[in-house]
Structure 1
Amino acid sequence: MHVPDGFFDAPTSIATGLIAAGAVGFSLQRANREIRETGPALAGLTAAFVFAVQMVNFPVGAGTSGHLLGGALAAALVGPWTAVLVMSTVLLVQGLLFADGGLTALGTNITLMGLVTVVVGYFVTRALLKLLPKRVGSVVPATTVGALVSVPIAALAFTGLYAIGGAVDIPLGKLATAMVGWHILVGIGEAVITAAALSAVVATRPDLVYAARHLQPDLVLVDADGNSSTVSPDRPIAARPAGRSLGVGIAATLVIAGVVSLFASAHPDGLEFVGARLGFEGAAKSSAVAGSPLADYGVSGIGNSQVSGALAGIIGVLVTIAVGLLIAKLASLRSARARS
């Protein structure tokens, strides 16, 4: 659902830019507690994982594809405020390096994919966790439903923005029906991916899942001398050994970006498909960085498309991890200064 330049008029793009800037600024101030609990490394890895999986478009029928948005998954893993920063990092890297989504539409994309999906996904997750059994395993179905709901809601939010400042006059009823209808199907794929990814983490390291912290029993850690100690879930996760788990996560993320992405569906995603059907696709303008060496997820100068795509994916993962870590550290410093 990456919105290109040209779909919205200037006032709407400016307004969403201000909303996005406000959300990122507020999240920088509020994310410190989450980052102390999960650690900045997990924030960087989550951003890289979302980036990698977004490269893998899956078919949803009738020549249309979809990809993970990732807001609900990120919120469950690192908390809602950090998730806004994670999603903004992904969209920033995609927009600046890969010309995926317009630069003047960056605020729109952050608002739709980095704010709406996080807020909706986390709200649904928390609401369901109050109803489901109080155990760690409940996080997976709760977040899965949150992921499913977040995608069509984001599509509906796009329709609302289009009603305010869309570039082409089209029947809003048809737009809403088409956007929500196709993105319900995309949401099903989002739910499946979210469930699979979160299940893997919950099964191996539930202490690394922010949404599960208060649902897990105390951990008993044994050191090399055989001495045991009890660690409460309230203790910051960053203080617990997680190097091996993070290493496995980085390796899996690199495989997804460098190998699995080569088998992604080539069909247009839901927004592109609806734009072509309803006649506003032609309003799209090329990104200002369309000539980037990594534009369209390929490395210029490399003739082999598979090698080019794999290398671009790996570069994107490494850059996203670095930027994600930097922003997480910045959030920690901002909060530390605010307390002093």
Structure 2
Amino acid sequence: MTTDHHGRPAGVTPRRRLLKTLAFAAAIGGMTLTGAPVHAATTWKIQSVWDAGTVGYDLFEEWCNSMEEKSGGELIFKPFPAKAVAADNNALFDSVRNGVLQGMNPFTLYWSGKIPASVFLSSYPAGPDQPHQWDTMFYALGMLEKTREIYEKFGLFYVGPIQHDANIIHSKNPVNSLDDLKGMKIRLPGGMVAEVFQQFGVSTVSLPGSDIFPALEKGTIDAADYVGPAVNYELGFAQVTDNILFGPPGVMSVYQPVDLMDLTVNLRAWNRLDPKLQQLVEDEVRNYSQRHYQTIQQRNIEAMEKFKEAGSKVSRLSQEDLQRFRKAAIPVWYKWANKDKDARAIFDMQLKYMMNDTMGYISEDDIKGL
């Protein structure tokens, strides 16, 4: 090796050696050349209840994959579709509580058996039926803070709601009124929704989304509620049913008109996160909620054309049916509100809002004696 007159390797200047030494020291000490600390990225594994290949999961995956760049490389969301880590909804809930997963993207209603208040954290039969009403309750009327207080009792942090869509019913035979439901066996979510439908002579069955198509195909159920047209078309419902039931004009559904999802994370994982990253996640959930909702609505319009091309026929319940449904639902609201103090606290917020003149959904006569 050739050396200079100081005995150093030829061509290596003192400045170059100094930079190499500083870079090595920075790598060892976790510092940049400017003295700023280098943070190791935090990775969260988050499972959705969307099946892979649906527009819902595609949107979720895209959003998760954007978090690394948005956080400057400090926070990575690793997305998983339904059943990828936790095999069912109960396992999903427990996996996030126990830290096997750091987060989940469920339909909030799924926890009605574990958290009774959750039936009031997504739209329920004949309740508030416009997405902006739910955003108002969460972000302006104190419902978000109360929800977080409830979830913390389970070792969870409820980051925020994610607007999704309405739920609709696909059936083998046409349904033109509530009376036509009598004697039918229908897949419905549990809790309050199932209880109201049972009052109209429906036999209700609870099934995960991935099990609906085979049940309709085999004829073990007559009809199924699931999400909106976009995802339901992708799941093949046009192949096994001929009819779609909506609510009155302007209302896709009378029983779950604003079916909310959410992002819920492990409380310990949340508390370990830097406050600036916590704020980023909260802001991003609100942004994602809007994008998710608008994209689903666009796809719904396209999907309805495809359903019609496949021969599906649309029927609508009447305003009279809506009033009958609400009359049957109100006592069930109170039944669930009285399950525990948390459910009652959430319901009280909503009842006050529904009775405000800006809404006018409920009158004193409607709740007399309850």
TM-score by length of 1: 0.27
Larger Rg computed on CA atoms: 2
Q: Which is richer in helix?
A: 1
Q: Which is richer in strand?
A: 2
Higher relative contact order (CA 8 A, sep 6+): 1
TM-score by length of 2: 0.25
